[in-house]
Structure 1
Amino acid sequence: MSASYQQRLAEHYAELSPRLREAGDYLVENPLDVATRSLRSVATEARIAPATFSRLARALGFETFETLRDAVRAQLALKVSTFATRAKDLREAPAGAPEGILMRSLERTQSNLEELVRGLDPVELAKLVDVLHEARRVLIVGALGSTGIAEYAGYMANFLGEKWRLAGRMGSSYGSALSEMDKQDAMIVITMSPSARVAVNAAEIARHQGVHVAVITDSYACPALRHANSSFIITGESPNFFNTYTTTVFFLEMLMAMLAQKAGPDVVERISEIERHNRALGEVVDL
């Protein structure tokens, strides 16, 4: 069946029970929630039993609710062309002054940041901060284009405590990083379109082990979202041939600031100690 979930709902709506119609109405009116939140969370918000949503999925011809969720995500997916296509378009565009690209990039970045701030759910963000604060260990995962961003997140997190780890660093395997993680731990997965397979697989394994998985991505179609306990969709649109990580860096810096604020005076002492050692080792130069 290739019809969209809306088409299937329209075709079967008349034959659905009142309760299934109610679930279908919620699905159409709240696709972002359905795409990014767990079934239990959606059911609680809608005040409809999880089993009702599962029955709706089967009534519409989907094998499971997760399959229906994937259809919703696919329809919400950002329409991002390949890097090569965008580079070709950029090259073939009429040549202009450097200021033109500068201003277009600035405007797009400002729009991305404003969209992020407007769309953030403060409750979900506060929950993630609590989870990361209470976790025994936190693993940061990022591959391909997200590798450098994960490295930067790990650098910031190192000031907060020793429980933070960066997966795949210095040749270490992802398997070894995941081997001892369980429900006491958390993972931050940073993966943008196209999603890195290792990041998606790591999210799946961690979720299976009971780890709290937080996914940061730029697309509702990201396959890692199906394994997420919490998720944040961060727009990375750019007039250039590559997506920008500016908004993602802003989000991660804000997240680390909130964690530092929650951590209390111990973090201040740790940061001071790290700075003293950096100077003693000659790693930094004071101006």
Structure 2
Amino acid sequence: MKHLKHYESRENTQKLRASPTGAFLNTSFQQRLAQNYGQLSPRLREAGDYLVANPLDTATRSLRSVSDESGLAPATFSRLARALSYESFEDLRDALRAQIGRQVASFASRAEGLRKSGENGARGHLDRARDAAVGNIDKLLTQIDADRFEAAVNRLHTARKVALLGALGSTGIAEYLGYMANFLGPNWTQLGRMGASIGAALADMDERDALIIITKPPYARVSMRAAEMAHAQGVFLMVITDSHACPALRIAQSGFIVPTEGSNFFTSYVGTLFLLETLVAMLASKAGPDAAERIGEIERRSRALQEVIDI
């Protein structure tokens, strides 16, 4: 099975230690795998990759069948389950069954939409794009831990500074997030914008601050290294990606895996934009009257500078 390239200095095959808090036990299978991927042996990673790629087969077939299909020993899957703090592989399968159950309606509606969009032309492309976009959002909503997301938003709300970093295809997404968030306060900054030094910006950050990294495969080295640097300095690190294999997830205090399936040849950012716009809306609801006053002042100045035109 082909694996994504990982930017790691060395293999760490030590057995995963159980989380000291009960919160970990409430996370989804993919979240558990993502948080601890770097600590798993290559064989256990291969087993995890297979389960992520084949959740329905895993949930409905016997362990022996899963073993035969994957080419991995049954004991490998049992070890993976224990490494991720499940009592047994059957408990892991129950978690996958619950998640699949929440997705059934979404998958059925997407399948029906794809069937109806079989014709060629603009209508067909529009229908397929719509189905992929709505499907990504629906899948995100079935997988995300709302309490963890709210806790992350609360941490961003109290941060002294919030830095944003997106490279390659994620650059514009980070810039859009910065544009939205700057209406709420001046403490949001996009790193590396217009050639500015990322290192210089990170040098002034500590545990009072937060860094949001948006990254999709192939992972930009600068994003991975910035995550490591911020983590070492005690900065609150939030990572938004689309794969449990993202190296930065294992050191992030808050990480979210966003579906990115699309009808085109490139990675879809619809789900990511949905998550980020929701994040800003939640921040705005916590900001109080000062934020509303700031937004009004920005609008007045924009009109005075004729940056916008009223119709």
Find out whether 1:279 has 2:303 as its counterpart: yes
Match of 1:216 among 217, 232, 240: 240
Letter in 2 for 1:260: A
Contact 2:191 2:198 in 1 (8 A): yes
Contact 2:35 2:251 in 1 (8 A): no
Match of 1:133 among 144, 157, 165: 157
Post-superposition offset of 1:37: 3.9
- Indicate the SS of the match to 1:243: coil
Post-superposition offset of 1:68: 8.4
Match of 1:155 among 155, 174, 179: 179
Letter in 2 for 1:214: M
Which consecutive residues of structure 1, in runs of 5 or more, have no partner in the other structure?
A: 4-18, 21-25, 40-62, 80-93
Q: Compare 69-78 and 271-280 and name the one that shifted more.
A: 69-78
Which consecutive residues of structure 2, in runs of 5 or more, have no partner in the other structure?
A: 2-16, 19-23, 55-117
Contact 2:214 2:240 in 1 (8 A): yes
Match of 2:33 among 23, 32, 35: 35
Structure-2 separation of matches of 1:137 and 1:69: 38
1:171 is aligned to 195
Structure-1 separation of matches of 2:219 and 2:153: 24
Contact 2:30 2:52 in 1 (8 A): no
- Indicate the SS of the match to 1:193: coil
Distance 1:175 1:267, change over 3 A: same
Distance 1:172 1:72, change over 3 A: farther
1:124 is aligned to 148
Distance 1:162 1:220, change over 3 A: same
Match of 2:273 among 234, 249, 259: 249
RMSD of aligned Cα (Å): 3.0
1:47 is aligned to none
1:207 is aligned to 231
Distance 1:280 1:214, change over 3 A: same
Distance 1:269 1:73, change over 3 A: farther
Structure-2 separation of matches of 1:225 and 1:165: 22
Post-superposition offset of 1:64: 5.0
- Number of aligned residue pairs: give it: 227
Post-superposition offset of 1:127: 0.6
Post-superposition offset of 1:98: 2.3
- Indicate the SS of the match to 2:244: coil
Q: Compare 64-73 and 226-235 and name the one that shifted more.
A: 64-73
Contact 2:284 2:291 in 1 (8 A): yes
Instruction: Write the deviation string for residues 196-241 of structure 1: whole angstroms up to 9, x where unpaired.
Output: 1111111111011100100000111111112211111101101210
Structure-2 separation of matches of 1:69 and 1:235: 23
2:127 is aligned to 103
Find out whether 1:184 has 2:208 as its counterpart: yes
Structure-2 separation of matches of 1:144 and 1:189: 12
Distance 1:249 1:64, change over 3 A: closer
- Indicate the SS of the match to 1:277: helix
Structure-1 separation of matches of 2:50 and 2:252: 19
1:60 is aligned to none
TM-score (normalizing by structure 1): 0.72
Structure-1 separation of matches of 2:180 and 2:133: 22
